[in-house]
Amino acid sequence: MKKLLFLFALALTVVYAKDSVEFKYAPKNIDREFPTTQNQILSYNNILENVRTSIVNISIKKEIKGNLYSANPFFNDPFFREFFKGYGDIPQERFQKSLGSGVIVSKDGYIVTNNHVIDGADEIIVNLAGDKKEYEAKLIGKDEKSDLAVIKIEAEKLNAVTFYDSDKVRVGDIVFALGNPFGVGETITQGIVSATGRSGVGIVEYEDFIQTDASINPGNSGGALINSAGHLIGINSAIISKSGGNVGIGFAIPSNMVTSIATSLIESGKFTRAYLGVTIADVSEDMSSFYDDNYGALITGVEDNSPAAKAGLKRGDLIISVNGKKIESASELKNTIGSYAPNRVVNIKFLREKRIDVVNVTLATLEGKIVAGEFEYKGMKLSEITPAYKQQQSLTIEGIIVEDVEQSSEAFDSGIRKGDIIIQIENREITNLEDFKAATATQSKKRFFIYRRGGIFATVL
């Protein structure tokens, strides 16, 4: 009986041993690094002392004018404004101040910051580190889609920041965020790179963020994210937070995007994005098996006479890299192409029928193009009305819808608002974006007929 119990126990042991796991252990002889003497302190002071004078404090002043019209949404309607003309026109002026940061990029006073830091400013004041003088800055140009802007002060021999190739940034790199949070003065926080190529966050239209856990708080916007060598890898832009304070999820615009956009803003005052001429989609796990388990941007359509069509790209091709940069999603391709200026020649690697091919494409301009069912005109973002929207709103009219309007735009000044439907321009009825594009082809002023909340009014734009 004892022998049987022993054999049973042995059998159990054998079965258990068969299913056991071998744990991987670190070597026992790993040494810790210590300062060589008690008089030695590990510090980045020499790196930070040099770069901190490249960071500036930015304060702006906005004059906000209000009256009876601004208190009631009905007064956005030109009909009501005309009917109540002379009533409630008592101006109420007040000033709004805000703080942000910026980075000096040239010795003669060019500074890069976030667009949201200076947006709508009547006055931009810059303070340099260690200099009590206030400098009035001039807006050189801005790009709302990436949240970047360039301003300039009249100064010389400034300490311009040194840029680093953001494509070489790696997760785990030690980084420092420099800025002026809460207006307390120069502040530096430390962290690591948590992720690269972050998109789909919903902060701006073109997103290719470096994510970091270095504390980025209000006022840090427009400041610098630098590596441990003191080189700029990004411009601090935003945080994710329920309370408004730092929770370890901050985002910076990568330095390569910054240099591309800032160069164009300095040279021409605006940034016009390049245009490839394809509609794209992500690749599902099942779909990737058709492309040797590769991921990228799947071409679902190619526009006639576009750069993509001229280069021979076709529906079904999978774009996997642009100029050597790996592309793993549709948004990554959009951001990459969107960071280039028109007429740039790019090298595109793609998969077709399980074969890798390479083609050089000369990019065109995005200006005046209808992309993904949207069109921009004089500060308006326009799109076609979907059948689902018509049914939801019980609409019986044809037209195109105003998705958004910039408050400082000509369209906003003419009384057009978000949600309006443009149904006619001069004598031409508008049913789609192509109709709108044809009706606005000339630069002359035109009568726009707008449908809003069951009524129709006209305005000139």
CA 153 to chain centre: 25
- Are 202 and 221 in contact, with CB atoms under 8 Å apart? no
Whether 2 is in a domain gets the answer no
Q: Which residues pair with 436 in a beta bridge?
A: none
* Cα dist from 396 to 330, 399, 428, 448, whole Å: 35, 10, 18, 19
> DSSP letter string over 313-364?
--TT-EEEEETTEE--SHHHHHHHHHTSPTT-EEEEEEEETTEEEEEEEE-E
Active site residue 288: no
Confidence (pTM):
0.69
Pick the closest to residue 153 from 218, 219, 195, 103 (CA basis): 103
Task: Pick out the chain residues at pLDDT < 70.
Answer: 1-19, 63-98, 181-184, 240-247, 366-374
Clarify whether residues 163 and 228 are in a common domain: yes
Active site residue 147: yes
pLDDT for the residue 400: 93
pLDDT for the residue 320: 93
Long-range interactions of 286-295: CB distance < 8 A, separation 24+: 290/354, 291/318, 291/351, 291/354, 292/351, 292/354, 294/318, 294/320, 294/351, 295/320, 295/328, 295/329
Clarify whether residues 279 and 310 are in a common domain: yes
pLDDT for the residue 244: 57
> Of 211, 236, 271, which closes a domain?
271
Clarify whether residues 214 and 326 are in a common domain: no
Q: Return the beta strands (E) in 220-296 as ranges.
A: 224-227, 232-239, 250-254, 274-275, 278-281
> Of 246, 271, 296, which closes a domain?
271
Tokens for 287? 């779909």
pLDDT for the residue 70: 44
What span, in angstroms and rounded, lies between the C-alpha atoms of 399 and 393? 13
Clarify whether residues 358 and 258 are in a common domain: no
Whether 29 is in a domain gets the answer no
Q: 11 φ, ψ to 5°?
A: -60, -40
Clarify whether residues 321 and 431 are in a common domain: no
Instruction: Tell me how many degrees the CA angle 188-213-256 measures, rounded to the nearest 5.
Output: 80
Radius of gyration of the chain (CA): 28
Whether 135 is in a domain gets the answer yes
Instruction: Given the residues 59, 221, 237, 414, select the one marked as catalytic.
Output: 221
Whether 194 is in a domain gets the answer yes
Whether 10 is in a domain gets the answer no
Clarify whether residues 360 and 309 are in a common domain: yes
Whether 289 is in a domain gets the answer yes
Clarify whether residues 181 and 289 are in a common domain: no
Clarify whether residues 402 and 334 are in a common domain: no
Instruction: Given the residues 147, 173, 317, 435, select the one marked as catalytic.
Output: 147
Tokens for 181? 């949070």
Q: Which residues contact 322 (CB under 8 A, 6 or more apart)?
A: 333, 336, 337, 346, 347, 348, 349
Clarify whether residues 323 and 454 are in a common domain: no
At residue 243, the 3 state secondary structure works out as: coil
> Of 223, 247, 271, which closes a domain?
271
What span, in angstroms and rounded, lies between the C-alpha atoms of 43 and 399? 63
pLDDT tens digits, residue range 188-201?
999 999 999 887 77
Pseudo-torsion of CA 240, 246, 249, 251, nearest 10°? 80
pLDDT for the residue 239: 72
Q: Which residues pair with 235 in a beta bridge?
A: 224, 253
Clarify whether residues 192 and 149 are in a common domain: yes
pLDDT for the residue 98: 66
Whether 7 is in a domain gets the answer no
pLDDT for the residue 91: 47
Instruction: Tell me how many degrees the CA angle 314-315-319 measures, rounded to the nearest 5.
Output: 75
* Cα dist from 68 to 191, 255, 410, 420, 457, whole Å: 49, 45, 22, 22, 21
Q: Which residues contact 110 (CB under 8 A, 6 or more apart)?
A: 104, 140, 150, 151, 152, 262, 266
CATH number at residue 307: 2.30.42.10
- Reported as type and span, the H/E element at residue 255 is helix 255-268
Instruction: Given the residues 54, 116, 306, 331, select the one marked as catalytic.
Output: 116
What span, in angstroms and rounded, lies between the C-alpha atoms of 354 and 104? 47
Clarify whether residues 258 and 114 are in a common domain: yes
Half-sphere exposure for 432 (CA within 13 Å, toward CB): 5
Whether 31 is in a domain gets the answer no
Overall domain count for the chain:
3
What span, in angstroms and rounded, lies between the C-alpha atoms of 216 and 251? 8
Clarify whether residues 244 and 99 are in a common domain: yes
What span, in angstroms and rounded, lies between the C-alpha atoms of 307 and 360? 10
What span, in angstroms and rounded, lies between the C-alpha atoms of 365 and 360? 16
pLDDT for the residue 96: 53
Active site residue 116: yes
CATH number at residue 131: 2.40.10.120
pLDDT tens digits, residue range 322-367?
998 889 888 889 888 888 888 889 999 999 988 999 999 999 886 6
pLDDT for the residue 42: 83
Domain that holds residue 45: 41-271
